[in-house]
Structure 1
């Protein structure tokens, strides 16, 4: 089983990413279930703006799209900025919009039978709002969102230290991430055994 992780941090490599740190705990838990994960830090790629899968020369999204559509699990990981997902998370959703009209060789929507989850970090509140925005968009695209397919960490209202700067709340975030990993893998296996039916009309 394969997974794709989209890290929507605004920090370029090699600068440490708080979002990547929490997301990697989910990746590690999934690895225990035999899942191989490909990770992309979107800020390091050249991503054209638009709602098509391939926007021509210099656009790196097609290889991200290929990873998503050959994986059974998608994780979107984003920091919180002014109570919302990062601009790169929104751009990823916009690029995945094209998948609504894409089908596999059997004519089934390309995102069907794939599960998705969300990881959120930030030193301000708003994690549940961010999870809801991303999860809702992924459902529209065709992904299945298992129960409790998310984990997050935030410092609470107002400015303060970031994820890697304190240990407060980490145990809960990591434990929730392990549950997220288990639920994602469990539902992905169930869909592999019993694919979603496609009804017309």
Structure 2
């Protein structure tokens, strides 16, 4: 089983990413469950704006899309900016819009039987809003969203220190991430055994 983690931080490498730090805890839990996991920092690549699966020469999204379609699990990790998801996460959702007409050999949406989870960090509150925004978009595309399939960390209301600078409630975020990873893998295994059928 494979998982793709899309880190939607605004920071390109080699800058340290708060979001990646917490997402790595998710990755450890997935890999402990036998899942082959790849993380892509979207800001490191030329993902062009748009709503098609291929925006032409120089567009890196088709490479990410190959990995996404090859995986059973998708984790989207986003920081919170001004109470909502990052512009990089929004760009990813816009590019995934190109999957709406795509069908597999059973005439199902290509995202059927794929499971999604979420990681959110931020020095301000708004994490649950970010999760609901991304989850709603992915459900619309055909992904399955398991119960309690996310973890997050924030510093509380207003500005403050970030995940890398603080020890505040990290134990909760890590434990919640482990539980979310277990739920995601359980649902992915169930769908592998009993896939969602094509509409008749």
Quickly name the TM-score band, shorter chain normalised. over 0.9
**Cα shift readout 1:86-124 (whole Å, capped 9, x = no counterpart):** 001000001111112111122211000000011000000
> Could you tell me how far apart the structure 2 residues matched to 1:46 and 1:105 are?
30
2:157 aligned residue: 157
> Could you tell me how far apart the structure 2 residues matched to 1:54 and 1:38 are?
21
Conserved? CA contact 2:121–2:163, under 8 Å? yes
Conserved? CA contact 2:2–2:70, under 8 Å? yes
Q: Tell me, what secondary structure is at the counterpart of 1:101?
A: coil
> Could you tell me how far apart the structure 1 residues matched to 2:199 and 2:25 are?
38
Q: Which 4+ residue blocks in structure 1 deviate beyond 2 angstroms?
A: none
> Could you tell me how far apart the structure 2 residues matched to 1:65 and 1:103 are?
14
> Could you tell me how far apart the structure 1 residues matched to 2:163 and 2:153 are?
7
> Could you tell me how far apart the structure 1 residues matched to 2:166 and 2:8 are?
22
Where structure 1 has 5 or more consecutive residues not aligned to the other structure, the ranges are none
Q: Tell me, what secondary structure is at the counterpart of 1:178?
A: helix
> Could you tell me how far apart the structure 2 residues matched to 1:36 and 1:24 are?
13
Once the two structures are TM-superposed, the CA of residue 46 in structure 1 deviates from its matched residue by 0.2
1:36 aligned residue: 36
Conserved? CA contact 2:72–2:114, under 8 Å? yes
1:197 aligned residue: 197
**Cα shift readout 1:4-43 (whole Å, capped 9, x = no counterpart):** 0000000110100000000010110010111011111111
CA RMSD in angstroms comes to 0.7
Conserved? CA contact 2:106–2:198, under 8 Å? no
> Could you tell me how far apart the structure 2 residues matched to 1:146 and 1:104 are?
22
TM-score under structure 2 length normalisation: 0.99
> Could you tell me how far apart the structure 2 residues matched to 1:34 and 1:101 are?
32
2:89 aligned residue: 89
> Could you tell me how far apart the structure 1 residues matched to 2:172 and 2:101 are?
38
TM-score under structure 1 length normalisation: 0.98
Where structure 2 has 5 or more consecutive residues not aligned to the other structure, the ranges are none
Q: Tell me, what secondary structure is at the counterpart of 2:152?
A: strand
